[in-house]
Amino acid sequence: MADDQTESPIQLRLVSTSLGLKIPYTPIGVSVLSSTYLQFKMGKDTYLYGIGVPIDAGSGALFIGSVATDYFTIRHNAKRQARIPRMHGLEAEIKISGLVVGGYGKIDIDLQVFDEFADKNNPLLKVNRQNQAAEGILAFDLTMSGTLLKFEKKKEQGD
């Protein structure tokens, strides 16, 4: 294992909700609201970030989706892992695809977080997870990008 790899994994949990309506072939529609929350757990520390941006529904559609995963493990470069507590204000791109019906299903997650230099070829954090178990309802692909906002940092009880 290279010197810059870490033995302590990062846990990530994702929650995403989307809502939108657009009448086909008309300019009439309601803005789509989409939000995604990323909860990182590193040891006993938890970091919660959110991305919330309006997105375009494209052609006419009524859709609502809400999907959540349990924590899953990601491994990452140790030098970059140290930035996770300080990602507020960085740009992120996420794509969630898959089918979740009746409360359970599988999704694919493609998440990238870029540092202040926004080097698209070398993201600060990259997660590409296939067939991740999820709960909720989702029947469309969700792609969004925006600025990460840090909501909280908390320690587990007993510290």
Domain residue limits, the chain: 10-150
Does residue 124 contact residue 90 with C-beta atoms inside 8 Å? yes
Q: Which of 72, 58, 144 is CA-nearest to residue 106?
A: 72
Q: How does pLDDT run along the chain (159 residues), one tens digit per residue?
A: 343 444 567 899 999 988 776 666 666 666 567 789 999 998 888 999 998 665 554 444 556 788 999 999 987 777 667 788 889 999 999 989 888 987 789 999 999 999 877 677 888 889 999 999 999 988 777 778 889 999 865 555 554
CA distances to 24, 69, 155 from 94, in Å: 26, 15, 27
The DSSP letter of residue 81 is H
Report the SS3 class of residue 99: strand
* 128 CB-contact burial (10 Å; exposed 0-12 / middle 13-18 / buried 19+): exposed
Report the SS3 class of residue 97: strand
pTM of the model: 0.77
Does residue 40 contact residue 11 with C-beta atoms inside 8 Å? yes
Q: How many residues does the chain have?
A: 159
Instruction: Give the chain's radius of gyration (CA, Å).
Output: 17
Q: DSSP letters of 31-51? A: EEEEEEEEEEEETTEEEEEEE
Does residue 94 contact residue 145 with C-beta atoms inside 8 Å? yes
